[in-house]
Amino acid sequence: MLDLSRYQGIIFDMDGTLVDSMPSHLEAWRLTCQAFGYPYHHDYMHGLGGVPTKKTVEILNEKYALSHDPEEVATRKRQFWEQLDSVPALIEETVEVLHHYRPSMKIGIGTGAERPHAEKLLKDTGLLERIDALVTATDVSHGKPHPETFLTVAEQLGLRPEQCVVFEDTEIGQQAARRAGIDCILVLNGQIQI
C-alpha cells in the first residue's frame, strides 16, 4: 500500500480518479458537441475533465467562435448523460487507498461535477457515506484549475493544505492542487503513478 502517513487527509477527484465515469461523460460531450455544432476531439475533451460543465461551454464557445448559452448546453449535456444510463465502475487502486486510510485519515472529494450528479454517483457506488467532505462545482465560484475546490475541501476537513494529498487524473486537476499548495498524485487509466 502507498505510504501516505505524512498526511492527515486525502482529497480525491471523482470522475476518472475514484469512479470510471469518463467514458460516459465523453460520450455525452460527443452528443452535445454534435447537437450544438462544436467540433468534437476526444483527447481535447478528456483534457477538460474536471472543469465544470458551464465553464467547458465557455471554453468551447471561445475556441470555436460560437455563442451558445452555457446553461442551455450544460442542461442538454446532463440530459444526454442521464439517457446513457451507465453505471460507472469504481477504480480499484484509488478505492483501495480510500478504504485503507479511511479509519485513520479524513477523506474528501473535490469534483468539477455538479452537486446532484456527484451525490447520486457517490451514493450509487457506496462511497458517499465513506467521506467527510464533498465539494462540487455547485459549491465554488471558480472551478479547476483554480485552487478553490481543493482549498475548500481541506477547510471542510479542518486541515491546512500542506496536511493533505490530492489524487487527480487530469492536468487541470493537478494545476488546481499545485496552486492550492497541496501535493498531488496522478492517476492515469486507473493506475496510480508513483
Q: Helix, strand or coil for residue 29?
A: helix
Q: How many residues does the chain have?
A: 194
Catalytic site includes residue 85: no
**Do 140 and 170 form a contact (C-beta atoms < 8 A)?**
no
Rg (CA), the chain: 16
- Say if residue 145 is preceded by a cis peptide, omega within 30 of 0: yes
Amino acid at 35: A
Burial of 121 per CB tally in 10 Å (0-12, 13-18, 19+): buried
**Do 7 and 167 form a contact (C-beta atoms < 8 A)?**
no
Q: Helix, strand or coil for residue 163?
A: helix
Q: Write down the catalytic residue from 3, 13, 85, 124.
A: 13
Segment (H or E) for 153:
helix 148-157
Cβ-based neighbours of 1, under 8 Å, separated by 6 or more:
96, 97, 100
User: Hey, which residues are catalytic here?
Assistant: 13
